[in-house]
Amino acid sequence: MSEPFVFDPRCDLCKEPFGAAVCGTAVTFHCRPLASEHFSHCALVAVCEFSGTRQELELSLEGPAGERICFSGVFSAPPQPELVWYHFRFWREDGTGCVLDKTGYRSDGETDPWQLTVYRESRTPGWFGAGVTYQIFPDRFCRLSVPNPDGLVGRRWVHQDWDDTPEWRPDPDGEIRNRDFFGGSLTGITSKLDDLKALGVTTLYLCPIFESASNHRYNTADYTKIDPMLGTEDDFRALCAQAKERGMRVILDGVFNHTGSQSVYFNADGWYPTLGAAQSQDSPWYSWYRFLHWPDSYDSWWGIHTLPAVEESAPSYVDFIIDGENSIIRRWLRAGASGWRLDVADELPDWFLVKIRAAMEETAPDSVLIGEVWEDGSNKISYSQRRQYLLGSETHGLMNYPFRTALLAYLRGGDADDFREAMETLRENYPPAAFYSAMNFLGTHDTPRILTLLGTDHTPESKADRADYRLLPWERSRAAAKLRLASLVLFTFPGSPMIYYGDEAGMEGFEDPLNRGTYPWGHEDRDLLAWFSRLGALRNGYPVLQTGALRWLCTAGPLLAFAREDGQVRLVTAVNASDSPCSLELPWAADSAQDLLSGSSFAPDAGRLVLELPPRGCLLLS
């Protein structure tokens, strides 16, 4: 809050409605400076970034309010999606005055304005944000037999031992090519659907499944073909169908910013019999790439030579990926997918995302589009352009890296109020549907394993040492206790809780590829697995955890407590991240309180509930 009680955009005494505004709707502002400041006038100064317009709206002086005076006015949100940056200007009858922005009163000619997100209302599928998502790295989840890599694109080899460490060492040329495979398959995933159902999973998010020369498959070789080591299109259709029979959906990873150099489209090594862009300028795919000097110098993703960047504006590429009757977006939705997660969405043009969303809504109206963005997606700048992911015509939601960053900081000794502030910033900036459709998580294929991060106080310097590193028993015990806290917050917070495969089983590992080991079937951490299963059942069993309003109750040092509310239904998450016991006092109108995690009951006294949380203890109160 700037200048106590003068203006706070999160307080309904100062701004209504809370947060982002729908195009064309009225937003009411109230400012309450001290009467002793002798301000006689106040104006809202609003700058619309996309249209480049500026508006100054003088607020009406409503009169005294105790030791303060109140200025009020109604601002009409622009009719088109916008980012509105606003501050206030105060002045007196003698012409003196100042401005008020996020930093307080100032008269230096600078401003640090507040943000008002203006979005177009559109339909967002409710199933994704309400449910539990499970991310699978297909090669490492479940294999039913050891595959033969002969005759496939890329110089692949297969680990015979499922429990091997993924290959992290460079090859003789000094390159890390990710050509070691373990043989996980789509039929393997299908065989484990009942296990995933028991975990509470409702959405499977699969890392890329299309033909590719590498085990991660983010260097696509053929978008039209399931990688043969994973199976066939029939296997994919069967997976989606059997998942739907269990109330589960499948979303795919779309990598449309770049392809692999060993793809049918680029074909750098001539593996495919057709002419790729690197072989002939007459190739039908030549226009898909930006050559600086053909054929050996071209634009690539982050300068990685094996990942040539595509020219998204090439008409034939747009038709192939999006617009065509049997485009990649449409084809795999028809095959059974229920949505797409867009890899490196911040490197795809806005118009490209708009087209993808439109094609999805035409083909499968209930499908969901999630973007990979690592920051606050409401004001992200990429390639010098402010992005418009969440303004109504692009993604339904984003991967919530800010959630992970803030929660980890809190669990590793930070202040719970910093977590609250980070989340309130998103809640204020995001349209409500986007906030509730965020993909929340503790880890992904791009981050170290959450158990390793929570258990170790240092990172070994060499990759070899990191590859061999395993938590000591006491470190693992500490990490598991913190993981229970983290996962409770994950499963009770707005947005879809996403489990990175194996985190629930106690998998460890530092950075890629050490975080991409094989699922330890038969060797899971049974206590952790039971904990995650319990959380999944609670999330699916209590609609208030899926769609209920968020209310903060306590954010002080190691103590974090918030409620999810829907009418008379209220569940409270309470966490103590400290190594010492902590007391927590909460207002409680009901006659009793029950912890849904342990079954313990508590009796409030005179409308107050006094709790003693043990070290790294937590409750989910009903």
**pLDDT tens digit string along 543-561?**
999 999 999 999 999 999 9
Place of tokens 């200025």: 71
Name the segment(s) of the chain with CATH classification 2.60.40.10.
3-119
* CATH number belonging to domain 547-621: 2.60.40.1180
Look at residue 176 in the predicted model and tell me its pLDDT. Answer: 80
The closest of 352, 466, 334, 98 to 342, measured between CA atoms, is 352
| Residues paired with residue 530 on neighbouring β-strands, in sequence order | none
| Residues paired with residue 83 on neighbouring β-strands, in sequence order | 117
Mean pLDDT throughout 288-296?
96
The residue count for the chain: 622
Q: Which amino acid is at 418?
A: D
Q: What are phi and psi of 233, to 5 degrees?
A: -60, -35
The closest of 400, 416, 423 to 561, measured between CA atoms, is 416
Element at 86 (helix H, strand E): strand 82-91
Mean pLDDT throughout 261-280?
97
For the record, the structure tokens of 230 come out as 């994973």
Which residues are the active-site residues? 343, 372
Asked if pLDDT for residue 171 goes beyond 90, the answer is: no
R_g (Cα) of the chain, nearest Å: 27
Each residue's pLDDT tens digit, 499-525: 999 999 999 999 999 999 999 999 999
Side-chain-facing half-sphere of 348: CA atoms under 13 Å:
25
For the record, the structure tokens of 41 come out as 């006038």
State which CATH number among 3.20.20.80, 3.40.50.1100, 3.80.10.10, 3.20.20.100 fits the domain covering 186-257+311-541: 3.20.20.80
Each residue's pLDDT tens digit, 96-134: 999 999 999 999 989 999 999 999 999 999 999 999 999
- How many Å apart are CA 327 and CA 335, to the nearest integer? 12
- How many Å apart are CA 486 and CA 410, to the nearest integer? 10
Greatest Cα-to-Cα distance within the chain, rounded to the nearest angstrom: 85
Helix ranges, 274-385 (H): 315-318, 328-334, 350-363
Look at residue 3 in the predicted model and tell me its pLDDT. Answer: 53
Side-chain-facing half-sphere of 536: CA atoms under 13 Å:
21
Each residue's pLDDT tens digit, 45-87: 999 999 999 999 999 999 898 899 999 999 999 999 999 999 9
* Residue 443 CA to its chain's centroid (Å): 10
DSSP string, 33-60: -BGGG---EEEEEEEETTTTEEEEEEEE
Q: Packing angle between helix 401-411 and helix 473-492, nearest 10 degrees?
A: 130
Element at 405 (helix H, strand E): helix 401-411
If DSSP codes are grouped into helix, strand and coil, which group holds residue 568? Answer: coil
User: Which residues are CB-neighbours of 172 under 8 A, at least 6 positions away?
Assistant: none
Name the segment(s) of the chain with CATH classification 3.20.20.80.
186-257+311-541
Look at residue 2 in the predicted model and tell me its pLDDT. Answer: 47
CA 336, 341, 347 angle in degrees (round to 5)? 140
Reported for 593-600, long-range contacts at CB under 8 A and 24+ positions apart, including other chains, are: 593/621, 593/622, 594/621, 594/622, 595/619, 595/620, 595/621, 595/622, 596/538, 596/571, 596/620, 596/621, 596/622, 597/488, 597/534
Mean pLDDT throughout 27-33?
97
Q: What are phi and psi of 485, to 5 degrees?
A: -65, -45
| 3-119: CATH class | mainly beta
- How many Å apart are CA 605 and CA 589, to the nearest integer? 10
Name the segment(s) of the chain with CATH classification 2.60.40.1180.
547-621
What does pLDDT average to over the chain?
A: 96
pTM over 0.85: yes
- How many Å apart are CA 506 and CA 483, to the nearest integer? 10
Helix ranges, 548-618 (H): none
Asked if pLDDT for residue 494 goes beyond 90, the answer is: yes
Each residue's pLDDT tens digit, 399-432: 999 999 999 999 999 999 999 999 999 999 999 9
Look at residue 5 in the predicted model and tell me its pLDDT. Answer: 78
The span from the first CA to the last CA of the chain, in angstroms, equals 32
**Band (1; pLDDT cuts 50, 70, 90):** very low
Helix ranges, 447-598 (H): 450-455, 463-468, 473-492, 526-541, 543-547
